[in-house]
Amino acid sequence: MFIITIIHVVVCFALILIVLLQAGKGAEMGAAFGGASQTIFGSSGAVGFLTKLTTIAAVVFMITSLLLAFTSNRRASSVMTGGAAQTVPAQPQQVPVQPQVPAQPQQAPVQPQVPAQPQQAPVQPQVPAPEPKK
């Protein structure tokens, strides 16, 4: 199981690198206008070699993925695969009984009574009236 996981991870990285190494469809136009062409694997050998390598890596990736899925499925247990579970009826719990205190009627909180002060008109200072001239 551990070896399959290691192979799977290595193939994942190899597949990523192989795909990134491949040239896009427009790469041939750059060589036609004087750009450098990729001649590492021959004039057209890189396309066939990288395509075959991609196919091999993809097949190995799929096989390791299926192997990992099947082996993890066999070890995992499911609730649905087992028979009907034997259940025991639950016993009622013994809750301690607390004595009931009679409820007293709730009274609204008493607010202190502030005596209302009578509204008084503003008091104007009394000016003595001028004395009549004689």
For all residues of the chain together, what is the average pLDDT?
Answer: 74
Give one word for 50, left, alpha or beta, with left for phi > 0 and alpha for psi -120 to 50.
alpha
Q: Would the pLDDT of 103 be above 60?
A: yes
Give the Cα separation of 74 and 83 in Å (integer): 18
User: Which DSSP letter does residue 26 get?
Assistant: T
pTM: 0.44
Instruction: Grade residue 129 by pLDDT with cuts at 50, 70 and 90.
Output: confident
Q: Where are the domains of the chain?
A: 1-18+41-76
pLDDT in tens, 27-79: 555 555 555 555 555 555 556 888 899 999 999 999 999 999 998 877 656 66
